[in-house]
Amino acid sequence: MFKGHPKGLYALALANTGERFGYYTMLAVFALFLRANFGLDAGVAGAIYSTFLGLVYLMPLAGGMLADKFGFGKMVTIGITIMFAGYLLLSLPLGGDTFAMLAMLAALLFISLGTGLFKGNLQVMVGDLYNDPKYAAKRDSGFSLFYMAINIGALFAPTAAVKIKEWAESSLGFLGNDAYHFSFAVACASLILSIAIYYIFRPTFRHVEGGKTKKGEAATVATEELSPAETKQRVVALCLVFAVVIFFWMAFHQNGLTLTYFADEFTAKSSEGLQSMLFNVWNLVLVIIGVYAGFSVFQSESKSGKFTSLAILVAVVAVLVYKGLNVSGSVAISAPIFQQFNPFYVVALTPVSLAIFGGLAKRGKEPSAPRKIAYGMLVAAVGFAVMAFASVGLLTPDAQEVAGDAATFVNPNWLISTYLVLTFAELLLSPMGISFVSKVAPPKYKGLMMGGWFVATAIGNWLVSVGGFLWGGISLTVVWSVFIVLCLLSALFMFVMMKRLEAATK
C-alpha cells in the first residue's frame, strides 16, 4: 500500500495534514465559541457555522480558476498565507462586542478564501504526480493515503482544542471565552509547520506546481469524443448525484453543530472503566496501529515482514489489555472531543473497506459507484435513527437548559456509535462520489463537473444550519427524524434513478 508512490505524495500529504489539523482544531470548538463568546442562540450560531463551511467548499472554484492562470504552487503558497492571517485574527481575544464580531467574520472570510486557494490545488498537484506512466497504476491508492493523512490531522484536533483551552484556563487564568482563542492559535502554529514541510520537500513535486502546459509542449492524452446525446446523459447523471450529495453533507456535518450541541447539553460529562480509554487519543492511535499491523500480517510478501507485523500486533494488544486492567477513576468529557471519533474510524476502517470491496470485485459482485452512494444514504439514516432512539424521553434543548437537577444525560456510547455508523456512510459515499465524477464527466467539462461536486458540497454545508434552527423548543426525536427522512428520500431517489446512473458509467 505504501510502496511505489512518488516521493512528492508524502510531502504534500504531510503539508495537508498540518493544515487540516489546524482547521479541525478550530472547527472542534467554533460552534460552542460562537454561543459562549457572543451569546448567540443555536440558530444564529448554526447559520454562521454553516455559511463558513459553505464558503470553504465553494472557494476552490475560484482557487482553481486562478491556478489555471498563475500556477498551482503559487496559489497554494498564497492560500496558506491568507489562512494564517485569518487564524491569527481569530486567535486575538477581542471580546464579544460588535467590533469583535466583525473581526471574527473577517477572519472567517480570510480562512475560507485561503482554504479555497490551498485545498483543491494541492489535490490537483497530487493527481498530477501520477501522470507519470510508472506511477499511473498507483493513483487510487495514492489518493487513499492522501485522504488518510487528512483524517490523521483531524484525529488529533479535538484533543488539541480541548487541552489547550483547559491549559489556558487552569495555568494562565484566562476565562472560558478568552481561552477559546488559544485553540484557534494552534491553527497558526500548524500552518507554519505545513509551509515549512512544503518548502523543505518542494524539489520532490516542483515539476507539478505549474498550471499551464509549457510552451511548445504537445498534448499527449487523447480526448474522448462523445456525441451530444452521450454528453447530455452524463451531465444529467452527475447532476442527479450532486442533488443527493447536498443532503448527505447537510446531515453528515451536523457533527460540528447539533451533534456537538447534544454532546454539550445531553451527554454525561465523565466516563469510567474501559469506556474512558476511548477518550484518550493515544489509545485510539494504538488501535489504528493494531488494525494495520493485523492486515500486514496477511498482506506482507516476506516472512520477516509478517513476523514484524505480528510482533507489533501482539505488543499493541498487550499494551491495551494492560491499560484496560489497570484503568481506574473517571475522566472528564468535553463536547468537542467526540469529533475525534469520525477521523479515527476513517483511518481505522479504510483498510477494512478496501478489503471488502476488493474481495467483492474479485468475485464480480462489487456494487457500482451509484449503488454505493445510495447505500451510504441508507446507512446515514441509520446513524440518525440511533440518535433518535437515544433521545426518547429526553427534554427539549430549551427545557434542558432550565431543568437544573431534573436534567437527564445519556451515556457517551450513543454518540460514539452514531459516529461509527456515519463514518461507514462517509466511506461509501464521499470517495465513491469523487470517483464517479472523475469517471463520468465528459472530457470537455471535467473541471466544471468537479466544480459541481464542490458546489453541491458547499450547498449541503450551508444547509447544515437547518439543524441549528431546529434546536430549541422542538423534541430531539423530531430533530433527528428530519435527517432520517432526508437521507431515506435521497436513497429512494438514487434507487429510482439507478438505471440511468449506471448507464452513464458504461
Among 164-178, 271-285, 482-496, name the one with the lowest average pLDDT.
164-178
> What CA–CA distances, in Å, run from 52 to 86, 267, 459, 465, 480?
12, 26, 11, 11, 23
Enter the DSSP assignment of 166.
Answer: H
Contact 18, 190 (CB under 8 A): yes
Total count of residues recorded for the chain = 506
Q: At residue 214, does pLDDT exceed 50? A: no
DSSP, collapsed to helix, strand or coil, labels residue 1 as: coil
More confident residue, 53 or 2: 53
Question: For 447-466, what is the mean pLDDT?
Answer: 82
pLDDT band (50, 70, 90) for residue 392: very high
Look at residue 126 in the predicted model and tell me its pLDDT. Answer: 81
Q: At residue 220, does pLDDT exceed 50? A: no
Look at residue 405 in the predicted model and tell me its pLDDT. Answer: 82
- DSSP string of 471-500? TTTS-HHHHHHHHHHHHHHHHHHHHHTHHH
Q: In the block, which residue shows the cell 494488544?
A: 317
pLDDT 10s digits, 120-150: 788 778 877 877 778 776 666 677 778 778 8
Q: Which helix (H) or strand (E) holds 156?
A: helix 139-170
Q: Which of 269, 281, 273 is nearest to 323 (CA)?
A: 273
State the first-to-last Cα distance of the chain, in angstroms, to the nearest integer.
29
| Dihedral-angle region of residue 329 (phi above 0 means left; psi in -120 to 50 means alpha; beta otherwise) | left
How many CA atoms, within 13 angstroms, populate the side-chain half-sphere of residue 99?
4
The residues, any chain, with a CB within 8 Å of residue 36's CB and separated by 6 or more, are 176, 177, 180
- DSSP string of 64-129? HHHHHHH-HHHHHHHHHHHHHHHHHHHTS---SSHHHHHHHHHHHHHHHHHHHHHHHHHHHHHHHH
* pTM, to two decimals: 0.81
Q: Which of 108, 110, 129, 128 is nearest to 118 (CA)?
A: 110
Q: Which of 261, 344, 191 is nearest to 30 (CA)?
A: 261
pLDDT band (50, 70, 90) for residue 62: confident
